[in-house]
């Protein structure tokens, strides 16, 4: 299995700025994935993310 690390700095480079979505969402997803897939690889087969515009943007 190929494992890749993506940091908040990688996300900033991709979108050219930091915002609430880039700072908070990865931390939330990290905690959610720990709960859904404890001690195992994350199955992204049916994983979808839905979000809305930030009030700060």
Q: DSSP assignment, residue 48?
A: -
Q: Count up the domains in the chain and report the number.
A: 1
**pTM score, whole prediction:** 0.50
pLDDT in single tens digits along all 57 residues of the chain: 788 888 888 888 888 887 777 778 778 888 988 998 899 888 878 777 777 776 665
Round to whole Å and give the CA distance between 9 and 20. Answer: 14
Which residue carries 């700072």 as its tokens?
Answer: 23
Q: What is the domain range of residue 49?
A: 1-57
């Amino acid at each position: 299995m190929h494992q890749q690390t993506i940091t908040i700095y990688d996300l900033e480079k991709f979108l050219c700025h930091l915002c609430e979505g880039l700072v908070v969402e990865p931390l939330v997803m990290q905690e959610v994935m720990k709960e859904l897939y404890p001690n195992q690889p994350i199955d992204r087969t049916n994983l979808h993310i839905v979000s809305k515009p930030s009030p700060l943007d």
